[in-house]
Amino acid sequence: MATDWLGSIVSINCGVTLGVYQGEVSSVDHTSQTISLRQPCHNGVKCPVSEVTLSAMDIKELKFLDIQDTANKCTSRQGSATEPSLISAGRHGQDNRSTHSHATNDSSHSSAAPITILRRVPAGLSNSRGAMHATPRRNIARNGGFGGPVRSKDDECFGEGTDEDLDTDFDFEGNLALFDKAAVFSQIDGTSGHTNKAQHHSTQTEQKPQSYRHDENILEGKPVIYRQITVPQHGGKEFCTDSGLVVPSVPYEFHKRLLGAAERWGLSLERRLETIGVCSGQMALSLLGGPNRLNPKNIHQRPTVVILCGPHIQGAQGISCGRHLANHEVEVILFLPNFVKMEESVTSEVSLYNRTNGVQVSSVKDLPVSPIDLVINCLDSHENPLLREQSWYQSTADWANRNRAPVLSIDPPANGQPQTVEAKWTLSVGLPLPLAESQSRPYLCDIGIPKLVYQEVGISYHSPFGCKFVIPLHPA
């Protein structure tokens, strides 16, 4: 009688663990208590094997979806001819492994012997996901419940093309590597228009909008005017900033006139000294290494700076710089001769400097012999160039040239003569002076002169400093 069911389409519910199998009955083995399905589907997904054998112990419910030769098998059937017949299979005790199947609404099989099936796993299917030991990965309720009718759209969605191993993770990187982006865009360009590729590329380049950095303004403005400073008396040299703005130099006499006008409006000498001291001190701290050198965890490597000052305003500017450096935990050694007449500004700055932990010496013999971190030169004077001929000045300049430390000159004079102390950096104030040709790198310091003060002396002025108080200059 088992051969009568061959070719029937059945749906076998094997419980939550194994799921629902659907397929065509290919064989029923009474001896081994197994039933085999051809072209099986597991939970609505086509199995990767052509045949699956199930044991009677795992069958919870069996439904016939289509039976061949219905007229010979069913003498009387309630409902329509396409209504499926139901065969229920269950266990009768733990020790009894036989399963009795009763055909409902089927008089021809009401007295037939029950199908007794034992568990058997074919050797060829022992490692297959289509075997009865496979663990379902989908919720059965979402696939139409237990033993639901097979619909045509299920075959279209889950029929062909799903034989790959579902346990394998999708390789996104490998799949992306298969996509040839250049070839696809080349094909699009070739099919969308029959123009020359070179012309198409040039058109795209012309139409491509200009890209901006995060700190650039995307709004279009007026063309930039790089010559924003004009002076009535030119010093003969021009410089430019990093952004391209032109900064002309002025003669010393005109520069002195500018400082006099600023002093009349309240920018006194004391204010200028303080501003120059702060700006030059900030530049010196950057040259010493900035936060990489000056931090609480690096106190055993405090930098040493020697400041060489003369008894004049330029020397007072250097003393102000030394005070600010000493306040920032820099070891400062101040050289200032005590046997020459000093200006009042120098005396007041020395009194403030002595309130720090800085060291003051008046003899070249007391200067360090070993190399130091930085030398700040403020020996030269704009008003008295004869200081260069004095012995103390020459011996101090010789010490600075012998020491291997780099030199920063603050507000050096423009007298047409080469620098006595070879400096690596020079810092001018307000507007640069036409310094003699040297290998030093010029910098400019903003000392806070208002714009209307520049206009008073005939200078058309727009600040070139931007967000900084000290900027580098380059030969124009």
Q: Which residue has the higher pLDDT, 66 or 311?
A: 311
* Average confidence score pLDDT of the chain: 78
Domain boundary among 158, 179, 197: 158
Segment among 175-184, 260-269, 445-454 with least mean pLDDT: 175-184
Confidence of residue 250 (pLDDT cuts 50, 70, 90): very high
Where is 318: in which H helix or E strand?
A: helix 313-327
For the domain that residue 245 is a member of, what is the CATH number?
Answer: 3.40.50.10260
Same domain (yes/no): 106, 244 = no
For residue 70, CA distances in Å to 112, 245, 281, 302 come to 17, 99, 105, 103
Would the pLDDT of 4 be above 80? Answer: no
pLDDT of residue 208: 55
What is the CA 63 to chain-centroid distance, rounded?
Answer: 61
Same domain, 115 and 247: no
pLDDT tens string 103-128? 333 433 333 334 334 444 444 444 44
Looking at 103, 135, 158, the residue that finishes a domain is 158
* Measured distance CA(207)–CA(190) in Å, rounded: 19
The predicted model gives 375-389 an average pLDDT of 90
Structural domain of 63:
2-158
Q: How far apart are CA 457 and CA 454, in angstroms?
A: 6
- Cα 234 to chain centroid distance, Å, stands at 48
Q: Of all residues in the chain, what percent carry a pLDDT higher than 90?
A: 40
**pLDDT value at position 61?**
87
Instruction: Transcribe 71-116 into DSSP letters.
Output: HHH-SS-SS-TTSPPEEE--B-SSS---B--EETT-GGGTTSPPPP
Q: Structurally, how many domains does the chain consist of?
A: 2
For the domain that residue 10 is a member of, what is the CATH number? 2.30.30.100
Determine the Cα–Cα distance for residues 201 and 348; give it in Å rounded to an integer. 70
Distances (CA, A) of 330 to 24, 275, 323: 92, 19, 10
Whole-angstrom Cα distance, residue 62 to residue 85? 9
Is this prediction's pTM over 0.85?
no
Q: Provide the pLDDT for residue 127.
A: 42
Q: Is 279 helix (H, G, I), strand (E, B) or coil?
A: helix
Instruction: Say if 6 falls within a structural domain.
Output: yes
Mean pLDDT across the stretch 233-250? Answer: 92
Residue type, 338: N
Look at residues 113, 132, 158 and tell me which one is the last residue of a structural domain: 158
458: CB partners within 8 A, 6+ apart: 231, 232
- Pick 208 or 466 by higher pLDDT: 466
- Residues 242 and 153 grouped into a single domain: no
Task: Based on the fold, state whether residues 147 and 247 are members of the same structural domain.
Answer: no
The alpha-helical segments, DSSP class H, found in 178-306 are 181-192, 197-207, 252-264, 269-287
